[in-house]
Every structure is written in structure tokens, then in C-alpha cells.
Structure 1
Amino acid sequence: MGERAAGAAGLRVALSTLDGPLRFLLLSSFLIPLGSFMVLPFMSVFLHERLGMGLGTVGFVLAVASLVQFSGGIVGGALADRIGLRRTMLWALLIRTAGFAGLLLALRWPPLAVGALVLTCCGAALYLPANKAYLVHGVDDERRPAFLSAGNAALNAGMAVGPLIAGPFVLSSPGWLFVAVTALFVLVTAGHARLPRSGGQEQSGGPTSERGLLAGVAVLPFAANVLAFYLYFHFQHFLAVYAVERASSAFYSLVLLLCFTLVIVVQPLASGLIRRMSYTRALTVGFMGLAAGLAVLAIGTPPALLAGGALITLGDIVLFLKNDLEALRRSPRSDAVVFGQQRLAAGLGACASGALGGQLYGLTEHTGNTNWFWLLGAAQCLLLPPVLLALRARTPKHPHPHDDEGALIPHDTDGRVPGR
């Protein structure tokens, strides 16, 4: 209780320093996923049932979309470094608005749906690194977990509410749904146009902006993010099909609501504890949570869907925040570039999950027992993370200064980049 109370007090103190533009950015961090998750969580069902795509094809489409949405973040980070955070966010929102308008047009011409989906993912790729960097630029290390957790809480709140609103309409009345989402993005884009261009929040053309996209990458947090997103997106990509078969789209929305509520409540309160947690322990706790959750999903009952989703969420709360914090600590690059690199890692993992997971889910569906899909995912959660710990054990504690290609990263004995 004392740890939780201290965490809540520290969170309140840290967030009390937010000014008007950053408060709007947190509001946008709710509204943007609210609109997006009125559509995106149901895309596997929409493509499969409404447009008649096979599950193998759906898995491939989701893999490409995930690769673009996450891996494109490295381009978003570099673009923010070059043209500034506000301008990058504006371009990203314009692209994403066009994508949702394209989904509306796809109701008349279905092949357009794939291109429109990829376009929305391009906008997301450009937006998030600039958003996170705008939020934490100039913030000291002690307050960064609170600021990132507040952004994640707003993000997950929108992700929780979106499916609840859209669940009854995504298959029955998708046209009106796409119109509403497009209108919401137009309003959010207009608000971003009024954000300050300077005042200590804008980065552009910094000293590292001419370096390669992967120069200075924090290798272990990057690899851990690849693996974490690969395993987590077994749940994200395929729970919709699995849950709708066993319950309903409304119950699937309830599972998402529980997961997002846990992130909203738990991650900000636990952010200080996660910051102080050793990296090895964080990886162990996180991947064990994913393993337990995927195994519970294999039971297939409605209570198991809720419990499995909760366990997976608790695991990713630790993994995703700790990996971002470690990457910021270890890399000499700007915040936007670091977040972009981590998004690239996320995209590689999500893409692999969609491509391999789609084939595996289709195979288990043909055998008549999709429960095995989740058990195989749980087994990977136990077998693959030790490779990361072996990588950590082989990482030198006192590396030489990095060369021009950023092959090595300078840090002191606790892994922290000097001067950050």
C-alpha cells in the first residue's frame, strides 16, 4: 500500500507540471486511438466476413499493416528530427485522415480497403515518435516514466472506449462509422495546427539528424521489443476471431476494455517501480505474464478470455515501458529517433506475428482445435526470452566509444548513457 500511495503521489506531482499544449496532447492521445480503435480491432473480422478474404490472406494483410505502422516509426523519428515535432504530427494526421476516408470508399470498391488500411498505418507510424518526444522533451529521468505512463494511459483509454462504441456497428453500419472516425480526425488535426512550434518543445535538425536511422540503436531493448511484440501480437491479431466464435463481438470488446483499463490504472501507478526494477527482472516478469495469459486463453471459455487478457496485459505493462526507458537510457540519439527505433522493433515483431501467426492459426483452425495456437504461443514465451538474457550476459560492461556507424554505445556501469 505504501509503494502504491507513493507512486500515486509522485505521479500527481509530475503531471502537475504539464502545461496547456501538453494537456491537449494527452487529450489527443485519447481521441486518436478512440477513433482508430472504433475500426482497427475489427479489421480481421471485417476483411474475413465482410470482404470474404481467407484467414491466410487476412494474416498477410495484417502483417504488412503492422510492419508499416510500427516499423515506419523509425522514419517518423528521423522526419521529426529534420522538420520538427509539430509539423511531423500534422503530416501524420493528414495521412491517417485520408486513410479512414479511404475505408469509407472501400465499401463501394473493396480492393481499396487494403490500401486504405496501410495508409492509416503510415500516419500512425509518423505520429507516435513525434508525439512521445514532444511529451518528454526536456523532462528529467525521474519524471519521464510518469509522463510516458500518462501518455500510455490516455492511449489505452481511447483504445478501450473505441471498440465499445463501434462493436455493434462495424459489420452492420460501417459507413456511418467510417464517416464519424474521419470527422474526428479532421478535428484533432485542426487542434494540432495550433500547438506551439517552439518554446523548448520543438526538435529539428539536431546534431544527430544526419546520422543513419539505426545509428546508436540500443541493441538489447531493440531485440527485446521485437520479441515482446511478436508474442503479444498473437493476442492482438487473432483474439477477435477466436473470441467472436466463442462469445460475441460485444464480449470481445469487454475483454479489450478490461485490458486497456489495467494499463490505464496499473501502469502509471507502477511506473516508478518499473523504472527501479532491474532489466533482467523486468524481462522475466513480463514474458512470464505473457506465457501465463496465452496458456489461459487456450481454455476458451469466456472467463478464461478475460483472465488470459488480464495476464497478458500485466506482462506487457512491464515489458513495453521498461524497454522504452532502457532504450532512452542507452542511446545517444534524440528522443524522437529512439522512439522511432523502438517502433521499428515493434513492427518487426508484429509483422512476424501476423505472417507466422496467421498461417499457424489457419492450420489449427483446419485441424478443428485453435486452442493449440495459444499453447504454442505460450511455449515460445518460455523458450525464446533466455536468448535475450544470454545476449545481455555477453554484452561488455565497459564498451569502447561508438564509431561513426553507431556500432557501440557509450554507457557507464549501470547502462546509462553519460550526459543524458
Structure 2
Amino acid sequence: MVRRPVLCRGVERELGWSMGTGASRGTGTRRRSAGRGLTGAQRALLVGGCLVNIGTFAVYPYLAVLLRDRLGVGMAQVGVVLGVATLVQFASAPLTAAFAERIGLKRCLLLATSVYGLGAVTYLVGAEDPALTVLALFLGCGAGALYSPAYRGYLVHSATAEQRPKALSAGNAAGNLGIALGPVVGAVFLHDPGRLFAMTTALYAVLAVGHFFLRPESAAASPARVEPFRRVLKGLAGLPFAVTVLTHYLYMQFYQYLSPFAEDRVPTAVYGVVMMGYSLAVVAVQPLVARRVGRVGYPSAVAVGSCCMALGMVAFAGGRVVGLAAGVAAMAVGTAVLFLKNDLEALAGSTRSATVTFGQQRLAVGVGSLLSGVVGGAVYGLFERAELLPGFWLAVAAQCLLLPPLVLVVARRLSRTG
């Protein structure tokens, strides 16, 4: 008789089915679970996740201008403030995820929406006070750090391994829809920041009420043992963490540096439409490929996603509208595959709860974004000074092809030596 480890039995309890000695019984249970659609509570949370991002991204694209005007400083100082706030948001995610594990996912979501609302009110009343504006920025970042791991954890807390791709892709699609619509909403109110923050305050108030009535997660899905805060990185899935860092290092170069590159090459309105198209394409693509991404091996998914990203970077080098549109389409496919597969592999390889695992993944996103800002910004500056900016995208495309296999090979060798 083969004895299963305690971890395996714990995972079975979390997923809600038993791998008993009767193979037909286990298979039948899994098939019934796999066929179950999203619950009403999950659908309600998807709406909430979309609206949260509408409120966030109605403000986020215009924060640099807002801070410059309210603080009365240059863009260099504004960049430092934004960089520190973003780093705090991502670096604190493992801690906020562990906090959500302790107080419960519903309570954490309710607290996060309340902090979002407090941040919006602080923006509203702090129009003439630079200190209040900075406080509002950090409140928004803190709310995001609380909301994201709990949001994803709630979506998969009772899902089987077969159901996770669908639940995660639906959550990502809802979030990306909010990212696409948020800047449009912000542009409508941008001429009057007071109205913008009054609108976001009302939105978060409604969301707080909605999350209050959200069904609590089942107690059976809670971990049997909660680790202390000092061990928030215990049980980290090393390979998905490393690939997530790399994915966002490459992706953020597209997100951060395409705007200045396209500034004198395509009309601003066209660029805005193209970037909205990217978010909407991810909304459309990820649910369509979710089941296939869940089944394919990790190296294959990394290869497909990285090659699509490389094609997108090459298309950007032309600097034409058609090239930007084609590049964005390729990037949408590549990131849809990589973002989903990285999270699925992290869930499969981690020994912690789904919520804590997502917190660890948010930290990886933050590290990759930081590397993109430091390394990518320096490389972009070199090509800009040499007046060879199209070459920057070719250099990033080369990294998309060379770095992922290198990370996989190094990880395989480390696992063998370990």
C-alpha cells in the first residue's frame, strides 16, 4: 500500500475531492467538478474586479501629471514617488496575502475596497495639500496590495486543478477589461479632477457594499496551519517565480517604453486605441485558450508565449501604425499564455495556500517591473542617444528568445543538484 504524504491529503481537502483507492470514484468526481461552471459568488467578484480596475485605471495613467501639478516638482521627483509607491505595493503583497489568509478573503476584500474609497476621498479633499496627495497615492497602492491576492485566492479557493484555468482566466479577463475601460472613463473627467475623484469615491462605496454581501469562502478551503508572517516566502515555487520575474521584465518594456517610442511616429489617439485593443485582446484570448494552457507542459507554454512576445517586439521596430497593431496582437497572445501558465504552475508547485501563492507571484511581478525600469530604461537610453531606437525593440526581441530557455535550463540543473 502506498501512503500519500500529508501535503497531498491537504491539497485533496482544499480541492474538494478524494483520490481514494477506487479509481472510478475519483475520476467521476473530478469529471463532475471539472464540468461545473463559475458560482454566483465568483461571477459577482468578477464584476467587482472589473469595477475596481476601472476606478484604479481612471486615475493611474494621469497620476504623473496630477502629482506634478499638486506637488509642484519636476518629473524626476514624480518618478521617484511613483516608483517607491509601486515597489511598496508589490513588495508588500506576500504580507498582505498572509494577512488575508488570517482574517479571511471576504473580510480582506471588504477592507481593500474601503481603503480604496478612503484614498479617493483623500485625493478629493487634498487638492491643495501635497502631503494628502502623496498619502492618497500610498493608500491606493496599499488597497491594491490587499485586493489582488485575495481576489485571485477567492476565485480559486474551492476550484479543482481542472477548474483553475477557467477561473483564473475569467479573473484576468475581468481585470483587463477594467484596465481597458478605466483610462476612457478618466479621460472624460480629466478636465475636472474633483469630479473624477468624486466618481471614484462613489464607485468604491458601492463596491464596499457589494463586497459586504459577498458569500464568505468555505472554511474547508482554509489552510490547516497558518505560517507566521516572517515565513511568507516559505513554500515558494521557484521556477514559476523566476519565469514570472522574467515575463514581467520583458512585458513592462513594451508597456513602459512603447509610448515615448510612438510619440512622434503615430497620432496619440491611434496609440490610445491600439493600447486599448491590447487589453481587450487579452480579455478575448485568455478564456479561449485557458483549457489548452492548463494542459500543455510548462516549457511548451513558455516557448509559445516568448515567441509571440518576440514577434511583437520585432513588429514595434517598424514604428508604423500597422506594425504597432500587429505587435500588440502578438503581445496579447504571448502575455495571455504566460501570465496564466505562470500562475497555474505556481499554484501546482507551491506548498502554501492559493492566496499566499498569489502574493508571492505579485512580488515576482514587482521584481520584474523594477528590473525593466532599471535595466530596460538604461538600454533604451543608449539606443536613444545613438539615434537607433528601432534597435531597442530588436534587442528586447532577442532577449525574449534567449532568456526563457536559459532560465529553464538553469532551474533544471539547480533542481538536479538540489
- Which structure features the higher share of helix residues? 2
Q: Which residue of 2 aligns with 1:233?
A: 252
Q: 1:403 maps to what in 2?
A: none
* Residue 284, structure 1, aligned to residue 303, structure 2: yes
What is the CA–CA distance in structure 2 between the aligned matches of 1:253 and 1:147, rounded to whole Å?
29
Aligned pair 1:85/2:105, yes or no? yes
Check if 1:161 corresponds to 2:162.
no
TM-score after normalising by structure 2 = 0.82
Whether the 8 Å contact between 2:309 and 2:331 is mirrored in structure 1 is yes
Shift of 1:90: 1.7
For structure 1, the residue ranges without an aligned partner over 5 or more in a row are 1-12, 400-420
Residue 50 of structure 2, aligned match among 7, 10, 30: 30
Tell me whether 279-288 or 24-33 shows the greater mean CA deviation.
Answer: 279-288
Shift of the 397–360 alpha-carbon distance from structure 1 to 2, 3 Å rule, reads closer
Q: Which aligned pairs between 1:74-153 and structure 2 lie closer than 5 A?
A: 74-105=94-125, 107-110=127-130, 112-153=132-173
Structure 2: distance between partners of 1:370 and 1:57: 26
Listed one character per residue, the Cα deviations across residues 27-77 of structure 1 (whole Å, up to 9, x for unaligned) are: 101111111111213435655788776555455444333323333221121
Larger Rg: 2
* Structural RMSD (CA): 2.9
- Whether 1:354 aligns to 2:373 is yes
Name the counterpart of 2:207: 188
The alignment status of 1:64 with 2:79, answered yes or no, reads no
Displacement after TM superposition at 1:208 (Å): 3.4
What's the counterpart of residue 275 of structure 1? 294
In structure 1, how many angstroms separate the alpha carbons of the residues matched to 2:107 and 2:302? 35
Per the TM alignment, residue 109 of structure 1 is displaced from its structure 2 partner at its CA by 3.6
Asked if the contact 2:154/2:217 (under 8 Å) is kept, the reply is no
Matched, 1:73 2:93: yes
Equivalent position of 2:9 in the other structure? none
Q: Deviation digits for residues 308-359 of structure 1, max 9, x if unmatched? A: 2222221111111111111111111111111111111111111222344445
Q: 1:192 to 1:352 in 2, by over 3 A?
A: same
1:301, CA displacement in angstroms? 2.2
- Measured in 2, the distance between the counterparts of 1:112 and 1:327 equals 38
For 2:250 and 2:82, locate their aligned partners in 1 and report how far apart those are by CA, in whole Å: 15
Give 1:209-288 correspondences, 5 Å limit.
Answer: 209-210=227-228, 212-288=231-307
Pair 45,67 (structure 1): closer, same or farther in 2 beyond 3 Å: same
State whether residues 157 and 217 of structure 2, in contact with CA within 8 Å, keep that contact through their aligned partners in structure 1: no
Distance 2:325 2:206 in 1: 34
Deviations 1:360-407 (A, max 9, x none): 5456556656444434433332332232111232144797xxxxxxxx
How many Å apart are 1:198 and its aligned residue? 4.8
From the superposition, tell whether residues 198 and 287 of structure 1 become closer, same or farther in structure 2 (CA, over 3 Å).
closer
User: 3-state SS of the aligned residue for 1:299?
Assistant: coil
**8 Å Cα contact 2:34-2:162 kept in structure 1:** no
Aligned residues: 385
After superposing the two structures, state which structure 1 stretch, 83-92 or 234-243, moved more: 234-243
Change (3 A) 1:175 1:383: farther
Aligned match of 1:208: 226
Question: Where do 5+ consecutive residues of structure 2 fail to align?
Answer: 1-32
**CA displacement, residues 68-106 of structure 1 (integer Å, 9 cap, x when unaligned):** 333322112101111111111122222222233333455
Q: Percent identity?
A: 43
Cα separation, partners in 2 of 1:64 and 1:230, compared to 1, 3 Å: farther
